[in-house]
A = this chain, B = another copy of it.
Amino acid sequence: MNHFEYKNPTKIIFGQNKIAELAKEIPAKEKVLILYGGGSIKSNGIYDQVKIALAEFDVMEFGGIPPNPEYSVLMNALEFIQSNEITFLLAVGGGSVIDGTKFLSAAALYDGKSPWNILTSRKPVLKAMPFASVLTLPATGSEMNSGAVVTRKETKEKLAMSGPALFPQFSILDPQVIKSIPERQIANGLADAFTHVLEQYLTYPTDALLQDRFAESILQTLIEVSPKIMKDPSDYKAASNFMWSCTMALNGLISQGVPSDWAVHAMGHELTALFGIDHARTLAVIAPSHYKYNMATKKEKLAQYAERIFNITEGNIEEKALAGIDATEAFFHTLGIKTKLSSYTKDFEGTAEVISKRFTERGWLGIGERGSLNPTDVAKIVEMTY
């Protein structure tokens, strides 16, 4: 097991009708800005629940944060925060709204020149305005971690930030919110959380027996609940397990003491930036090719994954590993998620070169758990996804 430092101070408030407890968690003196996305919270009742819970507070709101939170929109929100002397941010939404709120919490206290530098500098964020979340879409784990990803349309970039100041003060997880999520987004949430686990698990063995089993526990649970929640999102039992699995998939716990990959995300982000493909679907496109391409260095963990998750016991280590990759692709297909880039765009030719060139320009010369995948490898993997 590798050495590690682990601290996660976010308070999770989980269960039916917990949004009503919002007021207990925010200091009374705060001037609160509610941030949300496209407005679905107004039709599904969550907006009303939040407003009622915060009736005694000085509250303003900023809607319209798009999926893959867009820098220019966030800059408008930042101006709003500053001109209205907001002191507490409350994200009501999914990963995009929470990630956008994290960026704003850092940007609001940033003393550098352009807030974009928070993303390009890749320095940990140590100072941020206090914020919290009401999660409306299980998927990214942003509600209990200190990471965020922001997109900038004008440069077609999607960059990550993180730091100890970016943990939400608290997050409210009411599995009842899932009943109003469209099937497509539930499928995305399942695939996203599943791939988060793979990024922290399909690397190489470090004798981290417990972390491996925790990772497998999340994968098994996502597989177990996925047909139930796809069929009936008002199934509270399935919804609560889906929601908690998504949070645990990326709250830092399963990555302690083990290597992490994140190459699937690095490549996937480019597909979203280039073609606007849903984040989770880009992961499902990249993952199978990535694991096949890296068979030599990942086969031990791939074979363990095949055995423990899909009960694949036949064949040698490579055969099990390959069968595990096929089973992964089949799992994505059960969610209605296609795993070839050509299923999403006709303009896929040349994508490998574009992404490879971007990685070179950014100095991303070695990605993956060993830092060994150079832009040429990236091009080959992306080409395998066509």
Contact = CB atoms under 8 A, between A and B. Distances in A.
A14 B8 contact: no
Nearest to A164: B11
A241 B209 CA distance: 6
B213 A221 contact: yes
A4 B11 contact: no
Copies per assembly: 2
Q: How large is the interface on A (under 10, 10 to 19, 20 to 34, 35 or more residues)?
A: 35 or more
A174 to B, nearest CB: 9
A240 interface: yes
Interface of A: 1-16, 18, 170, 175, 207-211, 213-214, 216-218, 220-221, 224-225, 237, 240-241, 244-245, 248, 253, 256-257
Nearest to A213: B217
B240 A1 contact: yes
B208 A14 contact: no
B14 A5 contact: yes
The 4 A-B residue pairs whose C-beta atoms are closest, nearest first, are A3-B15, A213-B217, A7-B11, A1-B240
Contacts of A18: 3
Contact of A6 (B14, B217, B218): B14
A300 to B, nearest CB: 15
A213 B220 contact: yes
Contact of A11 (B5, B12, B211): B5
Given A210-B217, A220-B213, A7 B9 contact: yes
Contact of A248 (B2, B9, B210): B210
A4 B8 contact: no
Given A209-B221, A209-B224, A245-B210, A14 B7 contact: no
B210 A241 contact: yes
8 contacts: A1-B15, A1-B244, A3-B15, A6-B11, A14-B256, A208-B240, A213-B216, A213-B217
A209 to B, nearest CB: 5
Contacts of A225: 209
A146 to B, nearest CB: 13
A230 to B, nearest CB: 16
A58 to B, nearest CB: 26
A14 B240 contact: no
A225 to B, nearest CB: 7
A319 B242 CA distance: 32
Interface centre among A5, A216, A237, A248 (most CB of B within 10 A): A5
